[in-house]
Structure 1
Amino acid sequence: MNEKGVVYPLVVTLSFIILVFFSFVTEKVFSERQFVYLQEEHLRQVRLLQQGVDRATLLTDHVTVYPSLHMLNLNEGNVKIAIYQTTVDERMFIIEAVTARKHTKRVKVYYNVSQKSVTKWVEG
């Protein structure tokens, strides 16, 4: 048997297997990093929306003219708040959160003024 012709195909095959393995590991690392990045952005958006709802509930007591528009500049991004009167006891907040990386999330929140509680939260 000729052993001179076996070494080269063996080296090529092992190199290909190692290349496939490292490609798989690299793809897994990049996809995990992307997932973590998206989760962090989602949490920032939720925090901004919650801060917007908290501020809107405080502003409701002082608003006399509807619709009322407000803007908050926070560390993690900007929050736009629009307050509408739907009924005598209910207000609707349209809140838009824009993170520092320019990702946007909107929510409509229905707030009962007499009970001082959120009755409905609609994303989108």
Structure 2
Amino acid sequence: MNERGMIYPLVLTLCFILLIFFSYLTEKVASERHFVFMQEEQLKQVRLIQQGVDRALVWVEELAVYPSERRLNVNEGLLKVVFTKTSVNEVMFTVEAVTTRQSTKKVKVYYNVTQKSVTKWVEG
């Protein structure tokens, strides 16, 4: 029996198995990196939204004309806040946060002017 003829298919099979294993590991690492990237983007969006709401709560006390719009560039992206008066005691403002990688998140906040409190928060 020819030993060289037996070793060659075994080496090829082993190489193929190693290739499949390393392909699996590479895909696993890539998907984990993508997941971490998406989580990081979501955290940036949440931080931007919170900054926008904090600024809007200060700006709403200064406004006299409705509807009104304000834009603000911050380190992590752009904030766009649109104020609309919904009733005598209530102002609705929409905060749109755009990260530096152009992912966006919006939130609508209903604010009671007389009680100086947020009555409703709607994401989307």
Provide the TM-score with structure 2 as the length reference: 0.94
CA distance in 1, matches of 2:122, 2:58: 20
- Deviation, 1:63, is 0.4
Letter in 2 for 1:70: R
- The offset of 1:27, in angstroms, is 0.5
Alpha-carbon separation, structure 1, partners of 2:118 and 2:22: 50
2:6 aligned with 1:6: yes
Output the amino acid matched with 1:73: N
Where does residue 97 of structure 2 map in the other structure? 97
Give secondary structure in 1 for the equivalent of 2:23: helix
Residues in 2 aligned to 1:49 and 1:4: alpha-carbon distance in whole angstroms: 68
Give me the whole-angstrom Cα distance separating, in 1, the residues matched to 2:117 and 2:13.
66
Q: CA RMSD in A?
A: 1.2
Report the count of equivalent residues: 124
Deviates more, 1:3-12 or 1:50-59: 3-12
Structure 2: give runs of 5+ residues left out of the alignment.
none
Q: Distance in 2 between matches of 1:11 and 1:4?
A: 11
Q: Secondary structure at the match of 1:57?
A: helix
Supply the distance in 1 between the matched residues of 2:25 and 2:113 (Cα, whole angstroms): 54
Secondary structure of 1:84 counterpart: strand
Q: Distance in 2 between matches of 1:119 and 1:59?
A: 17
* Identity rate, percent: 64
The two structures have a TM-score, normalised by structure 1, of 0.94
SS in 2 for 1:115: coil
Distance 2:11 2:115 in 1: 75
Cα deviations by residue, 1:20-59 (Å, 9 ceiling, x for unpaired) = 1100110011111111111111111111111111111111
Structure 1 residue runs of 5 or longer lacking an equivalent are none
| AA partner of residue 55 (structure 1) | R
Runs of 4+ in 1 over 6 A off after TM superposition: none
Report the residue type matching 2:43 in the other structure: L
1:71-82 pair list within 5 angstroms? 71-82=71-82
One-letter amino acid matched to 2:3: E
Question: Equivalences for 1:1-124 in 2 at 5 Å?
Answer: 1-124=1-124
Q: Deviations over 1:50-84 (max 9, x none)?
A: 11111111111110110110001101001000011
Shift of 1:2: 3.8
